[in-house]
Amino acid sequence: MSAQPTLDPANPFAVPSALPYGLPDYTAIREEHYLPAFLAGMAQQRAEAAAIAADPEPPTVENTLVALERSGRLLDRVSAAFHNQLSSDATPALEAIEEQVAPLLAAHHDAIWLEAALAARVDELGRQADEGALDLEPDTAYLLERRRVAHRRAGAGLPDEAQARLRQINERLTTLEAKFGRTLLAATNAAAVLVADEHELAGLPDDAKAAAAAAAERHEQPGRWLIDLILPTDQPVLAQLESRALRRRIFQASSTRGLGGEHDTGPLLLEIAALRAERAQLLGYAHHADYVASDLTIHGADAVAELLGGLVGPAVANARAEAAALQEALERDEPGARLEPWDWSFYAQRVRRERRALDGSAMRPYLELDRVVEQGVFRAAHLVFGLTFARREDLTGYHPDVRVYEVFDTDGTGRALFLHDPWTRDSKRGGAWMNTLVDQSHLLGERCVVVNNLLNIPKPPPGEPTLLTWDEVTTLFHEFGHALHAILSDVRYPSQSGTAVPRDAVEYPSQVNEMWAWEPEVLRGFAVHHVTGEPMPTEWVRTLLDARQDGEGFATTEYLGAALLDQAWHRLTPDEVPATPQDVEAFERAALEQAGIADAPVPPRYRSTYFNHVFSGGYSAGYYSYLWSEVLDADTVTWYQEHGGLRRENGDAFRAAVLSRGGSLDALDAFAALRGRAPDIAPLLARRGLAAPA
């Protein structure tokens, strides 16, 4: 790797940002600053790691573990700023930088984790700890344990020839995964559905129609309407559009993204699957799913299969029961018609209206974005954890749409910056996610800067409100649960900060935070008509609470379909991976049939060709994590209920046991510190209507 050991002092990354909390100075950062900073950052960390490995003194916590924690500060700064901007506001120049840098970063990672002398120093510390010669504080002991495991899982003990092949695989995988994300973004943008006849938009609320018209205008299609797609198969507008033909067109555009054509992701995902399988075997595992799960809290791919497989039958049965009611509603409109995936959301909405007098479209004027954020999400965080929030108009994010808030703790001291980025744009990847720009760490004296991106909500015309669906409201609370995990982190080491927990536990706090969207005291604060100021009718609120299990058959089945596809791709050996992109659909069909879910009337939440979570987003063989995290979440919600619900004492206990601890201890130990026992699946089954309440 060609790299510069120093960085031009004029480059904004040459020194830590002088802005509050170390917020990257995006007003000064230019695209041309990233590559030199990456190269210098990698060179600096390589030099730091080499110095640690060559230290003639015997290894100690300070000269090995702490030194490693302090290394790579420049690289951390540029990586956080770059990857956040790339996912949220990509440009061709940024994508070109990613293409160049991705394999260099993979090689850099391997150069450190496969360094024999470095691994030997860590092993020596581990040996001393095993023999009782080292008296370590719990967070340091856990840091040492995880470092030892990470060196081993990276391949530090492999022969030279195997290590050389491993390096090749890792470089290629990093390139392919980045390319999958870029190709999928292009495919999703290209699949947006253009509507020329306004009559086809019957049922679409006026604000959504105005947003679609504005989107068409931005794409030089005045007088038309553009329906942008979000990442999952099911699209929010399908619940509103009366035109069955347009619903079908939108569904087919969504579910065929990446299948052939200019933006075909098939060749990429096949090579990714084959290389992951080969790497797993090099490291001594049966397949990639085994490699991933062996280091997570569920402890093994067989346990994942048992968890998912045990829920298929009940979930599909629930989905079929729901489908029967929707079929009846469809036949009243079109006798003899058969329920199709593009009909599901529309008729689910209608049946809900008939059964419960609950109309999702009628609720939207009561769910205005700013009020939901400030009087819902923020207010819940204040009631539960004592946090307060202040808008920082003086601070700038990476895009004009981004809003910056300062977060204050119970004693009034500043704790973090929170950046909120809600609206869709062509430069922003699909989905909803959280990033950190700065991680909390006592060792480095740093406080948190965290970003929430949302489900790419269409931006309304100037002066118009952004009105949300209920699903978008719960997504707001979910993503802010991730943000709270970062904001309330109170750890010593940066590598243990906030969400630095096993992949199958990272969704746990975020899913717990969804409960506050339904809490009547919180709901009354944000569910207010954006024009009249009237609260949402009391009977609607009661109905909304009563309807929480509605649609759980669909929700569980579409999730299981995606999770089972993830497992199927990652349980293959290299020679079992399909040979050509044309085989992808057949593989999907066979995998879902074998799992017993293919004849369910519900498509997977993600099909392989647009499954960004697993082929680009870090969830490979780990998409089951949402369900496993929900086991922890549902059990924790039960704990809250048993202890009086919305009380500061409960929030303080959850903060102390789980949120503040980050990755400084085993995630299940953190759960047990709160619950007093191991997780119980019964609350999850009751929540999803898969078993009678315990």
Residue 693 has a pLDDT of 37
pLDDT at 454: 83
* 163-182: average pLDDT: 96
Let me know: does 652 contact 491? Beta carbons within 8 Å.
no
Q: Quote the DSSP letter at residue 195.
A: E
pLDDT at 545 (0 to 100): 81
Average pLDDT, the chain: 94
- The rounded distance, in Å, linking the Cα atoms of 136 and 129 is 8
Say how many residues make up the chain. Answer: 694
**DSSP category for residue 534:** P
Q: According to the model, what pLDDT value does residue 665 have?
A: 97
Q: Which residues contact 274 (CB under 8 A, 6 or more apart)?
A: 572, 574, 577
Residue 385, number of CB atoms within 10 A of its CB: 18
53 in Cβ contact with 115 (< 8 Å): yes
pLDDT at 694 over 70: no
Tokens representing 545 are: 């609470």
User: DSSP string covering 299-342, please?
Assistant: -SHHHHHHHHHHHHHHHHHHHHHHHHHHHHHHHHHSTT----HH
CB 285 within 8 A of CB 574: no
Helix axes 116-130, 138-154, angle to 10 degrees: 140
The residue-averaged pLDDT of 204-216 equals 93
Q: What is the mean pLDDT of residues 442-455?
A: 94
Mean pLDDT, range 641-660, rounded to an integer = 97
pLDDT of residue 628: 93
Predicted confidence (pLDDT) per residue in 413-448, tens digit: 999 999 999 998 888 887 789 999 999 999 999 999
Residue 375, pLDDT score: 97
From first CA to last CA, the distance across the chain in angstroms is: 59
Name the token pair of 42: 């990698």
Determine which of 138-152, 454-468, 672-686 has the lowest per-residue pLDDT on average.
Answer: 454-468
For the chain, state the CA radius of gyration.
25
Distances (CA, A) of 335 to 238, 332, 344, 491, 569: 20, 6, 16, 62, 40
Compute how many other C-beta atoms are within 10 angstroms of the C-beta atom of residue 569: 29
Phi and psi at residue 435, to the nearest 5°: -130, 155
Angle at 177 between CA 172 and CA 180, to 5 degrees: 125
Q: Encoding tokens for residue 528?
A: 């207010």
pLDDT in tens, 470-510: 989 999 999 999 999 999 999 999 999 999 999 999 999 99
Between 543 and 673, the more confident residue is 673
pTM above 0.75, yes or no: yes
Indicate which residue of 98, 171, 479, 588 is catalytic.
Answer: 479
Domains present along the chain, CATH in parentheses: 20-113+115-154 (1.20.1050), 191-255 (no CATH), 266-333+551-626 (1.10.1370.10), 364-535 (1.10.1370.40)
What confidence category does residue 4 fall into, taking pLDDT thresholds of 50, 70 and 90?
Answer: very low
pLDDT tops 90 at residue 692 = no
At residue 355, the pLDDT reads 84
Average pLDDT over residues 505-531: 95
| The two structure tokens encoding residue 633 | 């979440």
Residue 626 has pLDDT above 70, yes or no: yes
Q: What is the pLDDT of residue 5?
A: 58
Enumerate the β-bridge partners of residue 417: 406, 449
Q: Is 145 a catalytic residue?
A: no
The tokens describing 559, both together, are 């999730």
User: For residue 661, which of 306, 246, 143, 230 has the smallest C-alpha distance?
Assistant: 143
Q: How far is CA 68 from CA 121, 293, 394, in A?
A: 11, 26, 35
Mean pLDDT (whole number) for 244-265: 96
Q: What percent of the chain has pLDDT over 70?
A: 98
Answer for the pair 72, 78: CB distance below 8 angstroms, yes or no: no
Quote the pLDDT of residue 598: 84
How does pLDDT run across 59-110, given as a tens digit for each residue?
999 999 999 999 999 999 999 999 999 999 999 999 999 999 999 999 999 9
What tokens appear for 406 in the block? 């300062």
- How large is the average pLDDT for residues 53-64? 97
